[in-house]
Chain A
């Protein structure tokens, strides 16, 4: 069928036999994709399956080694995104590329400013054009407001406007819902459907099956770097799609019996943490929580609502204005970070590259990081290289880190293996309390299952875990109790047995601030 269609040129975008190789990451081989005009076409696959590589190929950010790209029946070579934009392709990035202190108009026209005959920026013309685009999208902004005044969902809408303003008819959205709460996701799809009705084409990259099944017209599944199926919501269901994505064997975060014991390992009592800017409101406002032995306490919330500051305050990296932090009944509010760690506190950081790894250093130095007071690995002031290397090998084996040896620098590993290494290091010192921030973010299914297993196993042995995650299913599946953070406060306490992602979403936007049950 596709051959006929190609002959008639009825695809907005067609990729044939795309192959792209990179050292160290799963790239693409023999990728085929046919996107009909006027549809929302989903590309689904696990993290690391090669979705981003594919989209970068289509957007001209790199050139494929083999294969062809056809846009509206014309075969093209994109040497840079400029070429792709010229062909009518636009990309809405996962991380917004907006200048906070410029107005919405200025952001949209940046790089494509209409000018008057005297060489000035023609704001009237810009406003007129953006106005027309806004009515197409069904949104309404005060165009002179600074972007900094907008929420996440609105910023995304501005990104879409920006791409449309540049004349894109084919929009690529890279995991657009990752940063949104469920209500904003619904609004996004309303917008996208209006766009498609106007004749635009949307390529929607996601690994969230429910929203794909509910909103997209066609689906291409990518697994381990290659396209494995082309289907549509009519022909498949959640289970079927998930199995296509992972090739059988679904990991499941759930399956919990309660092992929570009575002893409180970590207690945070009514802490306040100052905001970063002078005079800004508190980053944490009267936050209290308790983690008992054998308990996983989940923290739900849209990123930037105080989760990061909470972990930093527990670690002692930011000072608390009021309140106290104690471990096993001992007040550690004024204890230095290193002593807290030595007392059994561990931390899987939010961003492994920024806070977890020494990318240029060999793995054995990475597994040693933060464990310099371990008697086995050091003697007095000196480090014991052989012991550290042996310990590193043990961590690599236990956590299934795929690497040739412990001498390889950390940057040579794939993201999932880097994360396993970080998790392994933090678990290796047998902590009492673990702060786990997005422990499975950006890792493949196998690594995810392995990390979940480790967390569960350690929990069964009495570890107390504070789990911060944006993956609501992970939160619901693993936690014994879920706290919702909004605007620096804990606004709700939910029982995971009754919570659903939608329900968490309502709490996360701050619309509902349930009393703590």
Chain B
């Protein structure tokens, strides 16, 4: 039985590892075609792994990715594709910067207050998509994409109109921000200016995610609804309720994605804050197979690639190769997962048949 479990883990991780290898090979070909030396590129890229500074940066970058991947993964468990993490995060960023900046509380309370505001705003935004899906049967992919556009525009407009600090007076500064958060709302660093403590929060979220999805009744019903909504419904699990709740949880997590940047780094809202981290969570969740352990390692990989890509420029290799690599990894993982699953399904079926045969 333990062997079976080990095999399952191996098969599951194999497809992700394979996807990474495929991406490395394809990128090497691209480098060759453009006249760059892939060996030099990769040795520069992965050579950076030895440096403490790079590793700290990796962890720092991985922090929001873990949270946004968890937000995406909880949707996937329910067969919902929440592409709206980016928009939910953006709405939560501004509301937390504004509301969190308007109150004064003792430090731990203030941080908790900011988290609650961020989660509530994120959930509110994703709840719109959930409500549309449940009440009007609007596909959540469409509605979350549209809500992303709306979020981006509404947030940018209201920031510009109401909340930017240097609206009056000598606004020559390029860094347009909201008012700074009070110090009590700053999330402490683990390593000063290098690694923020939100990493601990992200890891706790992954652990809670695992407990919720795999260890609770609710998680079982969530997975059952995702695996076969007809069967779940027949046993009295209300599919609409599950859809709505999972959208709310997903949005609440999405609200926390930008908090490392807001509370741990810039301490004020600006328009490019935490940009793309919501979208990148989708890639991390896919590569991590929607499992907390997988998500953890995928987030580290993406964090590392992001951090080390700067080194490539020193060797006159465009750092965009890392973006290309990320894209290929996502494509490859989707294709390879499907192929591996088919192969593995056949293998399991054959083995089960053989074992039954042998027993009789």
Asked if chains A and B come from one complex, the reply is yes
Interface residues of A (CB under 8 A from B): 23-25, 315-317, 336-341, 347, 349, 354-361, 365, 368-370, 372-373, 378, 381-383, 385, 402-405, 407-409, 411-413
**Considering the complex, which residues of chain B in the window 308-358 have a beta carbon less than 8 Å from any beta carbon of chain A?**
345-346, 348-353, 355-356
* Closest beta carbon of chain B to A413's beta carbon, Å: 7
Apart from A23-B352, A358-B224, A370-B234, 19 more pairs, CB < 8 Å: A23-B349, A23-B353, A340-B236, A349-B234, A354-B231, A358-B223, A358-B227, A365-B220, A369-B224, A381-B217, A382-B216, A382-B217, A403-B352, A404-B352, A405-B4, A409-B348, A411-B349, A412-B348, A412-B349
Q: Answer whether residue B215 sits at the interface, using C-beta atoms and an 8 A cutoff.
A: yes
* Closest beta carbon of chain A to B15's beta carbon, Å: 15
CB-based contact A383/B217 at 8 Å: yes
* Residues in A neighbouring B232, C-beta threshold 8 A: 369
* Closest beta carbon of chain A to B229's beta carbon, Å: 10
Q: Measured between alpha carbons, how far is A316 from B1 in the docked complex, in Å?
A: 39
List the count of A-B residue pairs having beta carbons below 8 Å apart: 107
Q: Measured between alpha carbons, how far is A365 from B226 in the docked complex, in Å?
A: 13
* Residues in B neighbouring A339, C-beta threshold 8 A: 236
* Residues in B neighbouring A381, C-beta threshold 8 A: 216-218
CB-based contact B217/A24 at 8 Å: no
Given contacts A356-B231, A372-B221, A407-B4, contact A412 B352 (CB under 8 A): yes
* Closest beta carbon of chain A to B312's beta carbon, Å: 41
* Closest beta carbon of chain A to B210's beta carbon, Å: 13
* Residues in A neighbouring B238, C-beta threshold 8 A: 336
Closest to A336 in B: B236
* Residues in A neighbouring B350, C-beta threshold 8 A: 23-24
CB-based contact B228/A357 at 8 Å: yes
Most buried by B among A25, A317, A373, A412: A412
Given contacts A372-B220, A372-B221, A402-B360, contact A338 B231 (CB under 8 A): no
Interface magnitude class on chain B? 35 or more
* Residues in B neighbouring A378, C-beta threshold 8 A: 217
CB-based contact B348/A408 at 8 Å: yes
Closest to A405 in B: B1
* Residues in B neighbouring A356, C-beta threshold 8 A: 231, 234
Closest to B237 in A: A338
Q: Measured between alpha carbons, how far is A359 from B353 in the docked complex, in Å?
A: 16
CB-based contact A408/B352 at 8 Å: yes
* Residues in A neighbouring B235, C-beta threshold 8 A: 337-338, 341, 369-370
CB-based contact B228/A358 at 8 Å: yes
* Residues in A neighbouring B231, C-beta threshold 8 A: 349, 354-358, 369
List 4 tightest A-B contacts by C-beta distance, closest first: A370-B235, A338-B236, A337-B236, A23-B350
Q: Measured between alpha carbons, how far is A358 from B231 in the docked complex, in Å?
A: 7
* Residues in B neighbouring A413, C-beta threshold 8 A: 352
Which of the residues A24, A360, A368, A407 comes within 8 Å of B227, measured between beta carbons?
A: A360
Closest to A25 in B: B353
Q: Measured between alpha carbons, how far is A316 from B236 in the docked complex, in Å?
A: 8
CB-based contact A383/B352 at 8 Å: no
* Residues in A neighbouring B356, C-beta threshold 8 A: 402-404
Closest to B226 in A: A358
Closest to B211 in A: A382
Which of the residues A341, A354, A407 comes within 8 Å of B1, measured between beta carbons?
A: A407
Can you list 26 contacts pairing A with B, beta carbon distance less than 8 Å? A23-B346, A23-B350, A336-B236, A336-B238, A354-B228, A355-B231, A355-B233, A356-B234, A358-B223, A358-B228, A358-B231, A368-B220, A370-B235, A372-B220, A382-B215, A383-B215, A402-B359, A403-B352, A404-B355, A404-B356, A405-B4, A407-B1, A408-B352, A411-B345, A411-B349, A412-B351
Closest to B348 in A: A412
Q: Answer whether residue B108 sits at the interface, using C-beta atoms and an 8 A cutoff.
A: no
Q: Measured between alpha carbons, how far is A349 from B219 in the docked complex, in Å?
A: 23
